[in-house]
A and B are shown apart, each in its own frame.
Chain A
Amino acid sequence: MKYMILLYGSQRDYDVLSGRATDRPVMSAEQIAAMHQHMETFHQALAESGELVDARGLSEPVHARRVRVREGAPVVTDGPYPETQEVLAGYTIVECASFDRATEIAAGLVDPDAPGAYVDVRPVLDSVEDLGG
């Protein structure tokens, strides 16, 4: 079974990461390096166990485009998110034995120092038929 672990963040969270001045303290270079180190070791271990399918981070929400169709014409909205809205910031797809194992993996992606931080785990469907449940 494949599971997608979804990580969230707001534009403000990206600011903390990138060192832009906001009302929250920015992360130090050491904290950033430690975070990168953790992510690398974490995904390396998943790759070695054969459970890693893909892991990606997404660019800052300011760069998002939202596309709708109105009267047959695609209409694009630049930067559709308010600065504080939490949006998808990255994902890790794993292929593992069970939902419980995926959940165990997901726990390693939650920042232990950030109160209230969370990730979501969603089973990936194998085919469109699965939608019927």
Chain B
Amino acid sequence: MPHAPVEDLLRTLAPQVLGALVRRYGHFDTAEDAVQEALIAAVDGWPRDGVPDNPRGWLITVASRRLTDLLRREQARRRREDTVARWVLPEQWRAPAADGPPPDADDTLVLLFLCCHPALSPASQIALTLRAVGGLSTAEVARAFLVPEATMTRRISRGKQRIRDSGLRFAPPTDAERADRLAAVLHVLYLVFTEGYARTAGPGLLRADLTAEAIRLTRLTHRLLPDDPEVTGLLALMLLTDARAPARLGPHGELVPMAEQDRTRWRADQIAEGIALITGALPGGAVGPYQLQAAIAAVHDEAPSAAATDWPQITALYEVLRGMSDNPVVALNHAVAVAMSRGAPAGLTLLADLADDPRLADDPRLPAARAHLWELVGERVAAREAYRMAASRSTNLAQQRYLNARADRLADDPPADG
């Protein structure tokens, strides 16, 4: 994804221009297309002719004209086919919300809430958010997710159709639904980040562009909602996790586990920012899962070496996190933390309880964790088998290579010597 000044400016303006258009004329789906075309016109024209004095106004004018043209074409077609565009005013537009009108909110935030609406599928939420709020083209989103552009086009148009059919308004959520809607927004941003951080398919491991985009959008959300501790927590989590990216891959693109990473290559500025954010957010009241995960990441990032990691504190944080949600991956990480703070056998006992969880049946993380702990206690055969099983479940080439190498190391060194 490009980072020229013009493109950065355009991507900041994109949601504002779309917001202005939808407020004024409605037709979210068509307006979104019109804004994309205006952005393309600017990408072509501005570097050549210079940035206009009022770039936002320029984009709104061009997008409005384009919207008018698209609507006329659509209306002419409907008239020909005698299918007048008639729609019933949705029920929720007619009855005033019980808790009064929602407060004014920034257009970018309203758009984010709309694109992450629970009525949309996660795939559509992500695609629409990156295009409408992130200002990326369909081709760019498709490239980031390694799917054909036609597939991404369908995802986006399905999302827009769903918004139209569900009668979703361009308005901030009411107080009653706000917490759930914000949780949905944060989940989408989190998914974009994790998709970029550990891609689930394909040869390489890191997709820096998606993580950078997730961080950019979360920063934007944090700027709009500076007092929400979970937004702050999510931003801190992303910064603290992404800080380790430079040390996460070896010279041949192989995965380096955290314990073996060269910590001098971690990004100190991101760690400092993440720690400052989470330190400021934690005393703010309700502690949520993103804040806890950020706190855990901070403990890792603060340790000068893997051996110096404060595992008892990490264990305690995972215990709180476990109490909040029935998430097998959290339980798995908790078991690993227990192993590190109280010894591998204690961790293996906890992992054994997870063995029958159907949600982890295809997940490489459980056998990988067991393999590490079995290796630590000298159960070499069990460890080797578990590494192989983890590798066979992984869909990520770098991860497969790492796990198979661990298994091979145990095979090369016959148990009789030990």
Residues of A within 8 A of B (CB): 11, 18, 20, 59-60, 62-63, 65, 67, 73-80, 82-83
Q: How far is the CB of A8 from chain B (nearest CB, A)?
A: 19
Question: Which of B84-92, B270-278, B325-333 makes up part of the contact surface?
Answer: B84-92
A80–B112 alpha-carbon span in the complex (Å): 31
- Knowing A18-B65, A63-B25, A83-B76, say if A75 contacts B87 (CB, 8 Å): yes
**CB contact between A77 and one of B65, B68, B85 (< 8 Å): that residue:** B85
- Knowing A11-B72, A60-B68, A82-B79, say if A77 contacts B84 (CB, 8 Å): yes
Asked if residues B94 and A74 are in contact (CB atoms below 8 Å), the reply is yes
Q: What is the chain A residue whose CB lies nearest that of B85? A: A78
A89–B158 alpha-carbon span in the complex (Å): 36
Q: What is the chain A residue whose CB lies nearest that of B94? A: A74
B142 within 8 Å of A (CB atoms): no
Residues of chain A contacted by B88 (CB below 8 angstroms): 73-76
Q: Which residues B40-87 have CB closer than 8 A to chain A?
A: 65, 68-69, 71-72, 75-76, 79, 84-87
**CB contact between A78 and one of B65, B69, B75, B76 (< 8 Å): that residue:** B75
Q: How far is the CB of A130 from chain B (nearest CB, A)?
A: 32
Most buried by B among A11, A60, A62, A82: A62
Most buried by A among B65, B84, B86: B86
Number of A-B contacts (CB under 8 A): 44
Asked if residues A76 and B87 are in contact (CB atoms below 8 Å), the reply is yes
Q: How far is the CB of A23 from chain B (nearest CB, A)?
A: 15
Please, how many residues of chain B have a CB less than 8 angstroms from a CB on the other chain?
Answer: 18
Asked if residues A62 and B71 are in contact (CB atoms below 8 Å), the reply is yes
Residues of chain B contacted by A62 (CB below 8 angstroms): 68, 71-72, 75
**Other CB < 8 Å A-B pairs besides A76-B88, A78-B86, 13 of them?**
A11-B72, A20-B69, A59-B25, A60-B68, A62-B71, A63-B68, A63-B71, A74-B88, A75-B88, A75-B89, A76-B87, A78-B27, A79-B75
A78–B71 alpha-carbon span in the complex (Å): 9
Q: What is the chain B residue whose CB lies nearest that of A69? A: B89
Q: How far is the CB of A9 from chain B (nearest CB, A)?
A: 14
A77–B26 alpha-carbon span in the complex (Å): 13
Residues of chain A contacted by B69 (CB below 8 angstroms): 20
Residues of chain B contacted by A80 (CB below 8 angstroms): 84
Residues of chain B contacted by A82 (CB below 8 angstroms): 79
**CB contact between A73 and one of B26, B76, B84, B89 (< 8 Å): that residue:** B89
Q: How far is the CB of A106 from chain B (nearest CB, A)?
A: 29
Residues of chain B contacted by A78 (CB below 8 angstroms): 27, 71, 75, 85-87
Q: How far is the CB of A26 from chain B (nearest CB, A)?
A: 14
Asked if residues A74 and B75 are in contact (CB atoms below 8 Å), the reply is no
A18–B72 alpha-carbon span in the complex (Å): 14
